Amino acid sequence: MQRRHHGHAALIARSMQDMFARYPRLGALGAGFLAATGFEPLRLWPVTLACLALLLWLIARAPAPRAAFTRGWLFGLGHFTLGLNWIAHAFSFQDAMPHWFGYSAVVILSLYLAVYPALAALGAWWLSGKLLRAERSGLPFILLFAACWIASEYLRAVAFTGFAWNPLGVTLLPTGIAIAATLIGTYGLGALTILAAGAILLGLRRRWFPAAAIAAPLCALALWGLLAPAPPTPAGAPRIRVVQPNIGQDEKYSPELEEAHFRTLARLSGEQRPAPRLIFWPEAAIPAYLDMEPLWRARLAALLGPGDLLMTGATKVYFKQVEENGVATNALAGANNSLFIVSPQAQLLSRYDKAHLVPYGEYLPMRALLQPIGLSRLVPGDADFWPGPGPQSLPLPATLGRPEIKMGVQICYEIIFSGQVIDAANRPAFLFNPSNDAWFGSWGPVQHLAQARLRAIEEGIPIIRSTPTGVSAVVDARGHVLRALGLNRAGFLDGALPPALPPTLFARLGNWASILFMMLLAGLAIAIPRTKS
Protein backbone atom coordinates (compact mmCIF):
# COMPACT_ATOMS: atom_id res chain seq x y z
CA MET A 1 0.00 0.00 0.00
CA GLN A 2 2.81 2.42 0.88
CA ARG A 3 4.52 1.66 -2.43
CA ARG A 4 1.26 2.37 -4.26
CA HIS A 5 0.84 5.75 -2.52
CA HIS A 6 4.50 6.58 -3.17
CA GLY A 7 3.99 5.73 -6.83
CA HIS A 8 0.93 7.96 -7.04
CA ALA A 9 2.81 10.86 -5.39
CA ALA A 10 5.75 10.41 -7.73
CA LEU A 11 3.40 10.36 -10.71
CA ILE A 12 1.70 13.58 -9.56
CA ALA A 13 5.08 15.22 -8.98
CA ARG A 14 6.28 14.25 -12.46
CA SER A 15 3.04 15.51 -14.00
CA MET A 16 3.40 18.87 -12.29
CA GLN A 17 7.04 19.07 -13.28
CA ASP A 18 6.11 18.37 -16.91
CA MET A 19 3.39 21.01 -16.78
CA PHE A 20 5.69 23.70 -15.37
CA ALA A 21 8.42 22.72 -17.82
CA ARG A 22 5.94 23.14 -20.65
CA TYR A 23 4.49 26.45 -19.38
CA PRO A 24 7.30 28.07 -17.37
CA ARG A 25 5.97 31.61 -17.72
CA LEU A 26 2.54 30.67 -16.44
CA GLY A 27 4.18 28.75 -13.61
CA ALA A 28 6.29 31.76 -12.64
CA LEU A 29 3.30 34.11 -12.69
CA GLY A 30 1.16 31.76 -10.61
CA ALA A 31 3.98 31.05 -8.17
CA GLY A 32 4.48 34.78 -7.60
CA PHE A 33 0.79 35.35 -7.02
CA LEU A 34 0.52 32.50 -4.49
CA ALA A 35 3.80 33.46 -2.80
CA ALA A 36 2.18 36.73 -1.67
CA THR A 37 -0.22 34.74 0.54
CA GLY A 38 2.63 34.42 3.04
CA PHE A 39 2.21 38.09 4.00
CA GLU A 40 -0.44 39.44 6.32
CA PRO A 41 -3.33 38.89 6.64
CA LEU A 42 -3.16 35.32 5.27
CA ARG A 43 0.27 34.30 6.70
CA LEU A 44 0.51 31.16 4.54
CA TRP A 45 4.31 31.12 4.77
CA PRO A 46 4.66 27.41 3.79
CA VAL A 47 2.95 28.31 0.49
CA THR A 48 5.50 31.10 0.01
CA LEU A 49 8.39 28.69 0.52
CA ALA A 50 6.90 26.17 -1.90
CA CYS A 51 6.41 28.86 -4.55
CA LEU A 52 9.96 30.13 -4.11
CA ALA A 53 11.22 26.57 -4.54
CA LEU A 54 9.34 26.47 -7.84
CA LEU A 55 10.88 29.81 -8.82
CA LEU A 56 14.38 28.46 -8.11
CA TRP A 57 13.66 25.42 -10.26
CA LEU A 58 12.30 27.55 -13.11
CA ILE A 59 15.28 29.91 -13.07
CA ALA A 60 17.74 27.02 -12.91
CA ARG A 61 16.12 25.53 -16.04
CA ALA A 62 16.06 28.82 -17.96
CA PRO A 63 17.83 28.26 -21.29
CA ALA A 64 19.08 31.85 -21.66
CA PRO A 65 19.48 35.10 -19.70
CA ARG A 66 16.34 36.57 -21.24
CA ALA A 67 14.27 33.57 -20.09
CA ALA A 68 15.68 33.87 -16.56
CA PHE A 69 14.83 37.58 -16.42
CA THR A 70 11.33 37.03 -17.83
CA ARG A 71 10.49 34.26 -15.36
CA GLY A 72 11.72 36.36 -12.44
CA TRP A 73 9.74 39.35 -13.72
CA LEU A 74 6.52 37.35 -14.09
CA PHE A 75 6.99 35.99 -10.58
CA GLY A 76 7.34 39.55 -9.28
CA LEU A 77 4.32 40.73 -11.25
CA GLY A 78 2.04 38.15 -9.63
CA HIS A 79 3.68 38.64 -6.25
CA PHE A 80 3.23 42.40 -6.04
CA THR A 81 -0.18 42.51 -7.71
CA LEU A 82 -1.71 40.44 -4.91
CA GLY A 83 0.43 41.73 -2.05
CA LEU A 84 -0.22 45.41 -2.87
CA ASN A 85 -3.94 45.12 -3.66
CA TRP A 86 -4.68 47.49 -0.76
CA ILE A 87 -3.32 50.43 -2.77
CA ALA A 88 -6.47 50.38 -4.92
CA HIS A 89 -8.49 51.18 -1.79
CA ALA A 90 -6.65 54.49 -1.34
CA PHE A 91 -8.07 55.86 -4.60
CA SER A 92 -11.63 55.65 -3.28
CA PHE A 93 -10.88 58.68 -1.03
CA GLN A 94 -9.66 61.02 -3.78
CA ASP A 95 -12.10 62.53 -6.25
CA ALA A 96 -9.40 64.30 -8.27
CA MET A 97 -8.58 60.94 -9.88
CA PRO A 98 -11.05 58.22 -10.95
CA HIS A 99 -11.59 55.52 -8.33
CA TRP A 100 -11.27 52.73 -10.88
CA PHE A 101 -7.71 53.86 -11.57
CA GLY A 102 -6.66 52.35 -8.24
CA TYR A 103 -6.70 48.84 -9.69
CA SER A 104 -4.70 50.01 -12.68
CA ALA A 105 -2.25 51.71 -10.33
CA VAL A 106 -1.61 48.41 -8.51
CA VAL A 107 -0.76 46.66 -11.77
CA ILE A 108 1.32 49.56 -13.09
CA LEU A 109 3.34 49.70 -9.87
CA SER A 110 3.75 45.91 -9.95
CA LEU A 111 5.03 46.06 -13.53
CA TYR A 112 7.85 48.24 -12.22
CA LEU A 113 8.53 46.46 -8.92
CA ALA A 114 8.72 43.10 -10.70
CA VAL A 115 11.98 44.28 -12.23
CA TYR A 116 13.76 43.66 -8.91
CA PRO A 117 13.09 39.90 -8.53
CA ALA A 118 13.83 39.70 -12.27
CA LEU A 119 17.25 41.24 -11.65
CA ALA A 120 17.87 38.75 -8.85
CA ALA A 121 16.96 35.87 -11.17
CA LEU A 122 19.09 37.22 -14.00
CA GLY A 123 22.02 37.90 -11.68
CA ALA A 124 21.95 34.41 -10.17
CA TRP A 125 21.61 32.75 -13.59
CA TRP A 126 24.40 34.76 -15.18
CA LEU A 127 26.83 34.68 -12.25
CA SER A 128 26.35 30.96 -11.75
CA GLY A 129 27.48 30.39 -15.32
CA LYS A 130 30.51 32.63 -14.86
CA LEU A 131 31.61 31.68 -11.34
CA LEU A 132 30.35 28.19 -10.54
CA ARG A 133 31.47 24.79 -11.70
CA ALA A 134 28.23 23.12 -10.66
CA GLU A 135 24.75 22.66 -12.04
CA ARG A 136 22.33 25.49 -11.35
CA SER A 137 19.97 23.36 -9.29
CA GLY A 138 22.57 22.67 -6.61
CA LEU A 139 23.45 24.36 -3.34
CA PRO A 140 25.91 26.88 -4.86
CA PHE A 141 23.22 28.23 -7.19
CA ILE A 142 20.77 28.56 -4.29
CA LEU A 143 23.36 30.45 -2.23
CA LEU A 144 24.05 32.76 -5.15
CA PHE A 145 20.35 33.37 -5.74
CA ALA A 146 19.93 34.29 -2.05
CA ALA A 147 22.83 36.74 -2.33
CA CYS A 148 21.30 38.32 -5.43
CA TRP A 149 17.96 38.59 -3.62
CA ILE A 150 19.58 40.73 -0.92
CA ALA A 151 20.97 43.06 -3.59
CA SER A 152 17.63 43.32 -5.38
CA GLU A 153 15.59 44.07 -2.24
CA TYR A 154 18.10 46.66 -1.07
CA LEU A 155 17.99 48.29 -4.50
CA ARG A 156 14.18 48.31 -4.42
CA ALA A 157 14.34 50.12 -1.08
CA VAL A 158 16.61 52.93 -2.30
CA ALA A 159 16.03 53.43 -6.05
CA PHE A 160 13.78 56.37 -7.04
CA THR A 161 13.13 57.23 -3.33
CA GLY A 162 12.55 53.52 -2.64
CA PHE A 163 9.53 51.32 -2.08
CA ALA A 164 10.47 48.72 0.54
CA TRP A 165 6.95 47.44 1.27
CA ASN A 166 6.62 43.70 2.01
CA PRO A 167 10.22 42.51 2.00
CA LEU A 168 10.28 38.75 1.65
CA GLY A 169 11.70 38.14 5.12
CA VAL A 170 8.53 39.43 6.81
CA THR A 171 6.86 36.11 5.93
CA LEU A 172 9.16 34.42 8.48
CA LEU A 173 7.74 36.35 11.45
CA PRO A 174 5.51 33.43 12.58
CA THR A 175 8.42 30.96 12.48
CA GLY A 176 10.84 32.53 14.95
CA ILE A 177 13.56 32.71 12.27
CA ALA A 178 12.89 36.45 12.11
CA ILE A 179 15.17 36.87 15.14
CA ALA A 180 18.03 36.59 12.65
CA ALA A 181 17.19 40.19 11.72
CA THR A 182 19.09 41.21 14.86
CA LEU A 183 22.21 39.96 13.06
CA ILE A 184 21.66 40.36 9.31
CA GLY A 185 18.67 42.70 9.00
CA THR A 186 15.52 42.43 6.95
CA TYR A 187 17.27 41.97 3.61
CA GLY A 188 19.40 39.20 5.05
CA LEU A 189 16.19 37.65 6.36
CA GLY A 190 14.89 37.63 2.79
CA ALA A 191 17.93 35.59 1.81
CA LEU A 192 17.13 33.09 4.56
CA THR A 193 13.65 32.72 3.05
CA ILE A 194 15.26 31.85 -0.29
CA LEU A 195 17.55 29.36 1.46
CA ALA A 196 14.58 27.71 3.18
CA ALA A 197 12.91 27.32 -0.20
CA GLY A 198 16.16 25.96 -1.57
CA ALA A 199 16.24 23.32 1.15
CA ILE A 200 12.77 22.19 0.01
CA LEU A 201 13.96 21.97 -3.59
CA LEU A 202 17.06 19.99 -2.61
CA GLY A 203 14.95 17.66 -0.48
CA LEU A 204 12.60 16.98 -3.39
CA ARG A 205 15.65 16.08 -5.47
CA ARG A 206 16.82 13.79 -2.62
CA ARG A 207 19.98 15.76 -2.02
CA TRP A 208 19.76 15.22 1.68
CA PHE A 209 23.15 16.51 2.79
CA PRO A 210 22.97 20.03 1.26
CA ALA A 211 19.28 20.24 2.25
CA ALA A 212 20.23 19.44 5.86
CA ALA A 213 23.11 21.92 5.68
CA ILE A 214 20.53 24.65 5.10
CA ALA A 215 17.75 23.31 7.30
CA ALA A 216 19.83 22.73 10.44
CA PRO A 217 20.87 26.37 11.07
CA LEU A 218 17.38 27.57 10.12
CA CYS A 219 15.85 25.23 12.72
CA ALA A 220 18.35 26.50 15.30
CA LEU A 221 17.35 30.09 14.50
CA ALA A 222 13.67 29.21 14.78
CA LEU A 223 14.26 27.63 18.19
CA TRP A 224 16.22 30.67 19.35
CA GLY A 225 13.52 33.03 18.11
CA LEU A 226 10.65 31.13 19.70
CA LEU A 227 12.40 30.77 23.06
CA ALA A 228 14.30 34.08 23.37
CA PRO A 229 12.45 36.20 25.94
CA ALA A 230 11.93 39.91 25.77
CA PRO A 231 13.39 41.83 28.69
CA PRO A 232 10.94 42.19 31.59
CA THR A 233 9.32 45.55 32.10
CA PRO A 234 10.82 47.06 35.27
CA ALA A 235 8.74 48.45 38.08
CA GLY A 236 8.34 52.18 37.69
CA ALA A 237 8.52 52.12 33.89
CA PRO A 238 6.77 55.11 32.30
CA ARG A 239 3.01 54.69 31.91
CA ILE A 240 1.64 54.99 28.40
CA ARG A 241 -1.74 55.36 26.74
CA VAL A 242 -2.18 54.72 23.01
CA VAL A 243 -5.35 56.20 21.52
CA GLN A 244 -7.24 54.88 18.48
CA PRO A 245 -10.30 57.08 17.74
CA ASN A 246 -11.68 55.06 14.79
CA ILE A 247 -12.01 58.10 12.54
CA GLY A 248 -12.30 56.97 8.93
CA GLN A 249 -10.59 58.62 5.99
CA ASP A 250 -13.94 59.68 4.57
CA GLU A 251 -14.64 61.70 7.73
CA LYS A 252 -11.15 62.86 8.68
CA TYR A 253 -11.12 66.19 6.85
CA SER A 254 -14.77 67.12 7.39
CA PRO A 255 -15.04 70.59 9.05
CA GLU A 256 -18.50 69.68 10.37
CA LEU A 257 -17.06 66.73 12.32
CA GLU A 258 -13.95 68.48 13.62
CA GLU A 259 -15.38 69.11 17.10
CA ALA A 260 -16.80 65.59 17.39
CA HIS A 261 -13.43 64.11 16.45
CA PHE A 262 -11.69 66.15 19.13
CA ARG A 263 -14.20 65.04 21.77
CA THR A 264 -13.53 61.43 20.83
CA LEU A 265 -9.79 61.88 21.20
CA ALA A 266 -10.26 63.71 24.49
CA ARG A 267 -12.57 61.02 25.90
CA LEU A 268 -10.25 58.18 24.96
CA SER A 269 -7.26 60.00 26.44
CA GLY A 270 -8.95 59.76 29.83
CA GLU A 271 -9.29 62.02 32.77
CA GLN A 272 -6.30 63.59 34.46
CA ARG A 273 -4.53 61.10 36.71
CA PRO A 274 -1.88 61.45 39.40
CA ALA A 275 0.61 59.16 37.66
CA PRO A 276 2.30 60.91 34.72
CA ARG A 277 1.52 59.34 31.38
CA LEU A 278 2.86 59.48 27.86
CA ILE A 279 -0.21 59.81 25.62
CA PHE A 280 0.06 58.91 21.94
CA TRP A 281 -2.29 60.14 19.22
CA PRO A 282 -2.20 59.16 15.53
CA GLU A 283 -0.61 60.84 12.54
CA ALA A 284 -2.35 64.13 11.63
CA ALA A 285 -4.72 63.61 14.57
CA ILE A 286 -5.80 67.25 14.71
CA PRO A 287 -6.39 69.85 11.98
CA ALA A 288 -4.61 72.66 13.85
CA TYR A 289 -1.33 74.43 13.13
CA LEU A 290 -0.08 74.06 16.69
CA ASP A 291 2.87 76.44 16.43
CA MET A 292 0.49 79.19 15.23
CA GLU A 293 -2.66 78.50 17.27
CA PRO A 294 -2.26 78.99 21.04
CA LEU A 295 -5.94 78.24 21.65
CA TRP A 296 -5.48 74.76 20.24
CA ARG A 297 -2.41 74.22 22.43
CA ALA A 298 -4.47 75.27 25.45
CA ARG A 299 -7.23 72.79 24.53
CA LEU A 300 -4.70 69.97 24.38
CA ALA A 301 -2.98 71.01 27.61
CA ALA A 302 -6.33 70.96 29.42
CA LEU A 303 -6.47 67.19 28.80
CA LEU A 304 -3.15 66.59 30.55
CA GLY A 305 -2.43 65.98 34.17
CA PRO A 306 0.78 67.02 35.94
CA GLY A 307 3.69 65.26 34.30
CA ASP A 308 1.69 64.05 31.29
CA LEU A 309 3.01 64.55 27.79
CA LEU A 310 0.96 64.35 24.60
CA MET A 311 2.51 63.14 21.35
CA THR A 312 0.24 64.12 18.47
CA GLY A 313 0.45 64.31 14.73
CA ALA A 314 -0.33 67.67 13.11
CA THR A 315 0.83 69.81 10.21
CA LYS A 316 3.51 72.50 10.18
CA VAL A 317 2.86 74.98 7.36
CA TYR A 318 5.01 77.55 5.55
CA PHE A 319 3.80 80.60 3.68
CA LYS A 320 5.23 82.78 0.95
CA GLN A 321 4.32 86.25 -0.20
CA VAL A 322 2.68 86.55 -3.58
CA GLU A 323 1.42 89.61 -5.37
CA GLU A 324 -2.07 89.67 -6.88
CA ASN A 325 -3.31 92.82 -8.59
CA GLY A 326 -0.58 94.81 -6.89
CA VAL A 327 -1.51 93.54 -3.43
CA ALA A 328 0.89 91.34 -1.44
CA THR A 329 -0.78 88.35 0.20
CA ASN A 330 0.37 85.19 1.94
CA ALA A 331 0.01 81.91 0.08
CA LEU A 332 0.71 78.39 1.24
CA ALA A 333 4.20 77.36 0.09
CA GLY A 334 4.58 73.93 1.64
CA ALA A 335 4.15 71.89 4.80
CA ASN A 336 5.69 69.26 7.04
CA ASN A 337 3.91 66.15 8.22
CA SER A 338 4.91 66.54 11.85
CA LEU A 339 4.77 65.06 15.33
CA PHE A 340 4.51 67.56 18.21
CA ILE A 341 5.15 67.01 21.91
CA VAL A 342 2.74 69.08 24.02
CA SER A 343 3.24 69.76 27.73
CA PRO A 344 0.60 70.47 30.45
CA GLN A 345 1.77 74.10 30.28
CA ALA A 346 0.62 74.28 26.62
CA GLN A 347 4.21 74.39 25.39
CA LEU A 348 5.52 72.64 22.30
CA LEU A 349 8.59 70.87 23.64
CA SER A 350 9.87 69.59 20.31
CA ARG A 351 8.81 68.53 16.83
CA TYR A 352 9.72 65.81 14.36
CA ASP A 353 9.13 66.28 10.62
CA LYS A 354 8.59 63.25 8.43
CA ALA A 355 11.59 62.73 6.16
CA HIS A 356 10.61 59.86 3.85
CA LEU A 357 7.52 61.11 2.07
CA VAL A 358 5.10 59.06 -0.03
CA PRO A 359 5.23 59.89 -3.76
CA TYR A 360 1.75 60.73 -5.09
CA GLY A 361 0.50 60.62 -1.49
CA GLU A 362 2.25 63.56 0.18
CA TYR A 363 3.78 65.16 -2.88
CA LEU A 364 3.21 64.96 -6.61
CA PRO A 365 6.40 64.16 -8.53
CA MET A 366 6.86 66.14 -11.73
CA ARG A 367 4.01 68.41 -10.67
CA ALA A 368 4.51 70.83 -13.56
CA LEU A 369 3.92 67.94 -15.98
CA LEU A 370 1.27 65.90 -14.17
CA GLN A 371 -0.97 68.57 -12.66
CA PRO A 372 -2.04 70.08 -16.02
CA ILE A 373 -3.33 66.66 -17.16
CA GLY A 374 -5.55 66.35 -14.08
CA LEU A 375 -3.46 64.19 -11.76
CA SER A 376 -3.27 65.01 -8.08
CA ARG A 377 -1.77 63.58 -4.93
CA LEU A 378 -3.97 61.30 -2.85
CA VAL A 379 -3.83 63.39 0.36
CA PRO A 380 -6.04 66.49 0.01
CA GLY A 381 -4.24 69.83 -0.24
CA ASP A 382 -2.90 72.37 -2.68
CA ALA A 383 0.75 72.32 -1.64
CA ASP A 384 3.24 69.48 -1.35
CA PHE A 385 4.73 68.29 1.91
CA TRP A 386 8.44 68.92 2.41
CA PRO A 387 10.81 66.33 3.91
CA GLY A 388 12.39 66.69 7.33
CA PRO A 389 16.06 66.03 8.20
CA GLY A 390 15.76 62.32 9.05
CA PRO A 391 15.88 60.16 12.21
CA GLN A 392 16.08 62.09 15.47
CA SER A 393 15.78 61.28 19.15
CA LEU A 394 13.50 63.72 20.97
CA PRO A 395 14.00 64.18 24.73
CA LEU A 396 11.02 63.62 27.01
CA PRO A 397 11.86 65.60 30.17
CA ALA A 398 11.92 64.06 33.62
CA THR A 399 8.91 64.80 35.77
CA LEU A 400 7.23 63.50 38.95
CA GLY A 401 9.64 60.61 39.41
CA ARG A 402 9.87 59.68 35.74
CA PRO A 403 13.44 59.95 34.41
CA GLU A 404 14.24 61.70 31.18
CA ILE A 405 14.04 59.34 28.23
CA LYS A 406 14.53 59.73 24.50
CA MET A 407 11.91 58.93 21.88
CA GLY A 408 12.56 58.16 18.22
CA VAL A 409 9.82 58.94 15.72
CA GLN A 410 8.97 57.45 12.34
CA ILE A 411 5.72 58.69 10.83
CA CYS A 412 3.64 56.12 8.96
CA TYR A 413 5.42 54.91 5.79
CA GLU A 414 8.89 55.70 7.16
CA ILE A 415 8.83 52.64 9.42
CA ILE A 416 9.21 50.24 6.46
CA PHE A 417 12.78 51.30 5.62
CA SER A 418 15.23 48.96 7.28
CA GLY A 419 18.33 50.62 8.72
CA GLN A 420 16.89 54.15 8.34
CA VAL A 421 14.72 54.57 11.44
CA ILE A 422 17.11 55.28 14.34
CA ASP A 423 19.59 58.03 15.14
CA ALA A 424 22.37 55.59 16.00
CA ALA A 425 24.52 58.29 17.60
CA ASN A 426 21.68 59.24 19.97
CA ARG A 427 19.86 55.94 20.53
CA PRO A 428 16.29 56.36 21.85
CA ALA A 429 14.55 54.23 24.47
CA PHE A 430 11.64 53.50 22.12
CA LEU A 431 10.26 54.35 18.71
CA PHE A 432 6.88 55.99 18.14
CA ASN A 433 5.19 55.26 14.82
CA PRO A 434 2.09 57.46 14.45
CA SER A 435 0.31 56.42 11.29
CA ASN A 436 -2.83 56.83 9.24
CA ASP A 437 -3.73 53.47 7.70
CA ALA A 438 -7.43 54.31 7.36
CA TRP A 439 -7.19 54.37 3.57
CA PHE A 440 -5.24 51.10 3.20
CA GLY A 441 -8.15 48.66 3.23
CA SER A 442 -7.89 45.52 5.37
CA TRP A 443 -4.56 44.20 4.06
CA GLY A 444 -2.41 47.33 4.28
CA PRO A 445 -2.66 48.03 8.03
CA VAL A 446 -1.71 44.51 9.14
CA GLN A 447 1.17 44.41 6.65
CA HIS A 448 2.33 47.77 8.02
CA LEU A 449 2.32 46.43 11.58
CA ALA A 450 4.31 43.35 10.53
CA GLN A 451 7.02 45.55 9.05
CA ALA A 452 7.11 47.68 12.20
CA ARG A 453 7.69 44.47 14.17
CA LEU A 454 10.76 43.78 12.04
CA ARG A 455 12.16 47.21 12.93
CA ALA A 456 11.73 46.36 16.62
CA ILE A 457 13.61 43.07 16.16
CA GLU A 458 16.39 44.64 14.09
CA GLU A 459 17.05 47.53 16.43
CA GLY A 460 16.19 45.85 19.73
CA ILE A 461 13.80 48.60 20.81
CA PRO A 462 10.06 48.67 21.56
CA ILE A 463 7.69 50.36 19.13
CA ILE A 464 4.41 52.13 19.83
CA ARG A 465 1.91 52.57 17.00
CA SER A 466 -1.14 54.84 17.12
CA THR A 467 -3.47 54.90 14.12
CA PRO A 468 -6.96 56.34 13.53
CA THR A 469 -8.66 53.05 12.61
CA GLY A 470 -6.11 50.33 13.44
CA VAL A 471 -3.91 48.52 13.91
CA SER A 472 -2.58 50.37 16.98
CA ALA A 473 -0.16 48.32 19.04
CA VAL A 474 2.57 48.11 21.65
CA VAL A 475 5.46 45.97 20.36
CA ASP A 476 8.32 44.82 22.58
CA ALA A 477 12.01 44.75 21.66
CA ARG A 478 11.70 41.16 20.35
CA GLY A 479 8.90 42.10 17.96
CA HIS A 480 6.09 40.55 20.03
CA VAL A 481 2.76 42.39 19.96
CA LEU A 482 1.98 42.91 23.66
CA ARG A 483 -1.30 44.76 23.15
CA ALA A 484 -3.21 45.75 20.05
CA LEU A 485 -6.46 47.32 18.88
CA GLY A 486 -7.82 45.74 15.70
CA LEU A 487 -9.27 47.38 12.64
CA ASN A 488 -12.23 49.76 12.86
CA ARG A 489 -12.40 49.87 16.65
CA ALA A 490 -12.30 52.88 18.95
CA GLY A 491 -10.39 52.46 22.18
CA PHE A 492 -7.08 52.84 23.96
CA LEU A 493 -4.18 50.74 25.19
CA ASP A 494 -2.83 51.30 28.70
CA GLY A 495 0.32 49.85 30.18
CA ALA A 496 3.97 50.39 30.95
CA LEU A 497 6.60 51.21 28.35
CA PRO A 498 8.55 48.03 27.48
CA PRO A 499 12.33 48.30 27.87
CA ALA A 500 14.89 48.24 25.08
CA LEU A 501 17.58 45.63 24.59
CA PRO A 502 21.25 46.52 24.22
CA PRO A 503 22.06 47.56 20.64
CA THR A 504 21.93 44.56 18.31
CA LEU A 505 24.61 43.75 15.76
CA PHE A 506 22.32 45.18 13.11
CA ALA A 507 21.79 48.34 15.19
CA ARG A 508 25.57 48.82 15.18
CA LEU A 509 26.22 47.98 11.52
CA GLY A 510 22.97 48.95 9.81
CA ASN A 511 22.48 47.56 6.33
CA TRP A 512 26.18 46.77 6.13
CA ALA A 513 25.18 43.66 8.07
CA SER A 514 22.97 42.56 5.17
CA ILE A 515 25.67 43.42 2.64
CA LEU A 516 28.29 41.42 4.55
CA PHE A 517 25.90 38.46 4.67
CA MET A 518 25.39 38.81 0.92
CA MET A 519 29.15 38.65 0.40
CA LEU A 520 29.39 35.60 2.66
CA LEU A 521 26.72 33.77 0.66
CA ALA A 522 28.44 34.61 -2.62
CA GLY A 523 31.79 33.48 -1.22
CA LEU A 524 30.32 30.17 -0.06
CA ALA A 525 28.70 29.67 -3.47
CA ILE A 526 32.10 30.04 -5.12
CA ALA A 527 33.95 27.92 -2.56
CA ILE A 528 31.58 24.95 -2.35
CA PRO A 529 32.17 23.57 -5.89
CA ARG A 530 35.85 23.21 -5.02
CA THR A 531 34.97 20.71 -2.30
CA LYS A 532 33.20 17.35 -2.33
CA SER A 533 29.93 18.80 -1.04
Q: 495 forms bridges with which residues in the sheet?
A: 240
| Residues ≥6 apart with Cβ < 8 Å to 286 | 262, 265, 296, 300, 312, 313, 314
Give all strands (DSSP E) within 264-347, no chain letters: 277-280, 309-324, 327-342
| Of the listed ranges 162-171, 221-230, 365-374, 464-473, the one predicted with least confidence | 365-374
224 pLDDT above the threshold of 90: yes
26, containing H or E segment: helix 24-35
Per-residue pLDDT averaged across 455-480, rounded?
97
- Please say if 219 is a catalytic residue: no
Res 46: pLDDT: 97
Residue % of the chain over a pLDDT of 70: 89
Sort 318 into a burial class: Cβ within 10 Å, 0-12 / 13-18 / 19+.
exposed
Spatial distance between the Cα atoms of 339 and 315, rounded to a whole number of angstroms:
8
Contact 371, 394 (CB under 8 A): no
* pLDDT grade for 289, boundaries at 50, 70 and 90: very high
Kindly report, residue by residue over 349-389, the tens digit of the pLDDT. 999 999 999 877 776 665 555 554 555 555 656 678 899 99
Q: Which amino acid is at 416?
A: I
Residue that wins the pLDDT comparison between 101 and 228: 228
Which of 412, 414, 458, 459 is flagged as catalytic? Answer: 412
Which of 153, 283, 362, 414 is flagged as catalytic? Answer: 283
* pLDDT grade for 324, boundaries at 50, 70 and 90: confident
Q: Which amino acid is at 76?
A: G
Kindly report, residue by residue over 174-213, the tens digit of the pLDDT. 999 999 999 999 999 999 999 999 999 999 999 999 999 9
* pLDDT grade for 532, boundaries at 50, 70 and 90: very low
248 pLDDT above the threshold of 80: yes
| pTM for the predicted model, two decimal places | 0.92
Within 13 Å of residue 464, how many CA atoms lie on the same side as its CB?
A: 32
Which of 153, 354, 414, 458 is flagged as catalytic? Answer: 354
User: Which domains are seen in the chain, by residue range?
Assistant: 2-229+511-530 (no CATH), 239-500 (3.60.110.10)
- Please say if 412 is a catalytic residue: yes
| Residues ≥6 apart with Cβ < 8 Å to 231 | 476, 477, 498, 499, 500, 501
Q: 338 forms bridges with which residues in the sheet?
A: 314, 353
Res 116: pLDDT: 98
Spatial distance between the Cα atoms of 200 and 68, rounded to a whole number of angstroms:
20
Per-residue pLDDT averaged across 92-118, rounded?
81
77 pLDDT above the threshold of 70: yes
Res 247: pLDDT: 93
- Please say if 283 is a catalytic residue: yes
Closest CA to 221 of 525, 476, 517, 530: 517
Give all strands (DSSP E) within 435-525, no chain letters: 463-466, 472-475, 481-485, 491-496
Res 255: pLDDT: 86
Q: Which amino acid is at 397?
A: P
Spatial distance between the Cα atoms of 436 and 471, rounded to a whole number of angstroms:
10
Residue % of the chain over a pLDDT of 90: 74
Res 374: pLDDT: 52
Residue that wins the pLDDT comparison between 271 and 114: 114
Mean per-residue pLDDT over the chain, rounded: 90
